[in-house]
Structure 1
C-alpha cells in the first residue's frame, strides 16, 4: 500500500513539473531550427526609444533598424564565431581593472527578412532573418556537417 501510494505521488509530482515547463512563445523566443534544416532563422530585437526619438514613426523605424542589426549580428556570431579579448589587472591581490572586448566580423550574403513587427506591450521591435545552408556553405567554402 505504501509503495503504490509513493509511486502515485511520484507520478503526480513528475506531471506537475512537466506541466510547469510550458513553451514560452513570447517576443524573446528564438525560432526553432531542426538539425539538418535547409536554413537557419535569427531573431533580433530593438527597443522603441521615445526619449531619443519623440516622433512615434521615427522611434519605431529606429527600433526596427536596431532589431535588424541585432539579427544580423546573431547570424554573424553563429556562422563565424565571436572573438573575445580580455585583460585583467590585479594589484595587491585585488582586482583593479578588468576589460572584455568582443568583436564580430563577417559577411552575410543571401539573408532574407522573413518577419518584422512590434510588441507594444514590451515596447520592442523584432526582425527575423533567414539564412540558407547553401549560402552559409558558400560563405565558408566548406560543407557543414552539424548545421
Structure 2
C-alpha cells in the first residue's frame, strides 16, 4: 500500500473515530467544526505517526459538544391493555422506548446485516436486519404529546454535560 493511500486511510479512520467518540452525528451540520482542516497540514510519514495523530484526536478538547435529541412515536389502539387509559400509558412507554432506540443509534451506531439471493441473474430474495446495542444514560424526557387521535410522541434529549461525561469516559478506555 502506498504512503498516499495510507495517509488517506488514516485520515478517514481518524475522522470517523472522532465523530463516533463524541456522538456528533446528529448536530454535525450545525457546528463549525471542519474535521479535515487540521489534518491537511500534517505530514504522516509512517504508521507510528498515524497512531500518535489518532491519540491526539482522542486527547484533544472538543469546543462544541452537541445536545442529542430523539423522537419516538407509538399508536394507542395497537397497545395491549384492558382499558383506554392502560393503552395510553403503554403507548407513552412504547414511544419512549422508540426514542431511546434512536438515541442509541446516534451514539453507538447501527449494525446492518443483509442477504441477497440471485438466481438466473434475478433477485429472488433480499432481506436485511438492523441491530442497535448500547447503554443510554442520562436521557431526559423533554415532552410527551398526543399527536392526532391515536398516536403519542415522546421527545428525549441528552444534554451537553452528560455528553461531556460520556466523552471523558470513552477517552479513559
Question: What is the TM-score with the length of structure 2 in the denominator?
Answer: 0.55
**Bigger Rg over Cα:** 1
Whichever structure has more helix as a proportion of its residues is 2
Deviations, residues 43-102 of structure 1 (Å, cap 9, x unaligned)? 111111167445111110111011001110110111111111111011111111111010
- Which segments of structure 1 move beyond 4 Å, counting only runs of 4 or more? none
Deviations, residues 8-39 of structure 1 (Å, cap 9, x unaligned)? xxxxxxxxxxxxxxxxxxxxxxxxx9544652
Whether contact under 8 Å (1:44, 1:127) holds in the other structure is yes
User: Structure 1's 106 and 126: CA in aligned 2 closer, same or farther, altered over 3 A?
Assistant: same
Which runs of 5 or more structure 2 residues have no equivalent in the other structure?
1-28, 32-63
Whichever structure has more strand as a proportion of its residues is 1
Alignment of 1:45 with 2:73, yes or no, is: yes
Alignment of 1:124 with 2:145, yes or no, is: no
Which runs of 5 or more structure 1 residues have no equivalent in the other structure?
1-32, 143-147
Alignment of 1:113 with 2:113, yes or no, is: no
**Which residue of structure 2 lines up, in the alignment, with residue 91 of structure 1?**
119
**Which residue of structure 2 lines up, in the alignment, with residue 69 of structure 1?**
97
> Cα RMSD between the aligned structures?
2.3
